[in-house]
């Protein structure tokens, strides 16, 4: 009996919208899947000019993004503290920065808070959350609700990137767009008001990420069951 071969996958143009340097890492993963990445971030990361790191009374660090890891590592040489990371990509960034004891929640902010709360008896001090001026979730509030002492350290902000209509047109003509944060999705929603893209597939990291496009004139929206980039990339070759 002749062997039935699977149909070859169609090479697609995938718009990468996350901020650098994460955009390049995602683009490489897309390229390895056999698709053509188009790197055009919707957000840019800017360090806050007056940010200072105070580690007095801190027992552990909690990161909800790789950008938070990089911003902290640029300002502080501390690498001995325990690190709690929201997911695989953030944990990998922490290890790459030199942290040795890194635990990943493999989920969202709530999962991270729950994971830290389960180990609160091991902590002899506060949990410090280095992150963005406008974080996607309230990790400190969630930790405090669990009885964990926590505080914020604001290190950076993400600002929208502007595109002219001529620059936006080829991006909106991509086969699919990858979205990693609600803030990036809000920027895309603004673009779609002026330039609808009914054929553009939207692949978001989570339900919360795609929510700002509820009324946008865009193609089918999908998100994985777990907010992991690997699961997000698996959506590329699935039928919409």
pTM for the whole structure: 0.78
pLDDT (tens digit per residue) in 203-215: 999 898 999 999 9
- Alpha-carbon dihedral angle through residues 207, 212, 213, 214, given to the nearest 10 degrees: 80
Q: How many percent of the chain have pLDDT more than 90?
A: 78
Q: Clarify whether residues 18 and 69 are in a common domain.
A: no
Domain count of the chain? 2
Domain boundary among 158, 188, 218: 158
> What are 8-46's pLDDT values in tens digits?
478 999 999 999 888 999 999 999 999 999 999 999 999
pLDDT over 80 (residue 58): yes
Q: What is the pLDDT of residue 5?
A: 39
133 and 57 in a single domain? The answer is yes
- Both 54 and 129 in one domain: the answer is yes
5 located within any domain: no
What are the distances in angstroms from CA 120 to CA 22, 59, 113, 173? Answer: 31, 10, 10, 49
Residues 77 and 105 grouped into a single domain = yes
Same domain, 50 and 135: yes
Q: What is the pLDDT of residue 240?
A: 66
The parent domain of residue 193 ranges over 13-42+161-234
Query: Residue 229 above 90 pLDDT?
Result: no
Dist. CA 151–CA 68, nearest whole Å: 14
């Amino acid at each position: 009996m002749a062997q039935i071969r699977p149909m070859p996958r169609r090479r697609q143009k995938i718009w990468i919208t996350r901020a650098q340097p994460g955009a390049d890492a995602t683009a490489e993963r897309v390229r390895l899947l056999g698709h053509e990445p188009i790197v055009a971030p919707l957000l840019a990361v800017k360090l806050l000019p007056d940010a200072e790191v105070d580690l007095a009374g801190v027992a552990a660090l909690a990161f909800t993004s790789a950008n938070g890891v990089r911003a902290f590592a640029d300002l502080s040489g501390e690498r001995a503290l325990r690190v709690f990371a929201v997911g695989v990509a953030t944990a990998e960034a922490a290890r790459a920065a030199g942290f040795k004891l890194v635990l990943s929640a493999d989920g969202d902010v709530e999962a991270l808070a729950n994971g830290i709360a389960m180990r609160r008896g091991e902590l002899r001090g506060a949990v410090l959350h280095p992150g963005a001026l406008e974080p996607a979730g309230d990790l400190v509030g969630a930790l405090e609700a669990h009885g964990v002492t926590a505080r914020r350290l604001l290190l950076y902000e993400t600002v929208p990137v502007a595109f002219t209509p001529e620059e936006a047109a080829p991006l909106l003509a991509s086969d699919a767009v990858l979205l990693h944060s609600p803030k990036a999705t809000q920027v895309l929603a603004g673009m779609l008001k002026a330039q609808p893209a009914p054929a553009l597939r939207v692949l978001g990291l989570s339900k919360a990420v795609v929510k700002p496009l509820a009324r946008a004139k865009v193609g089918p929206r999908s998100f994985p069951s777990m907010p992991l980039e690997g699961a997000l990339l698996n959506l590329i070759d699935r039928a919409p």
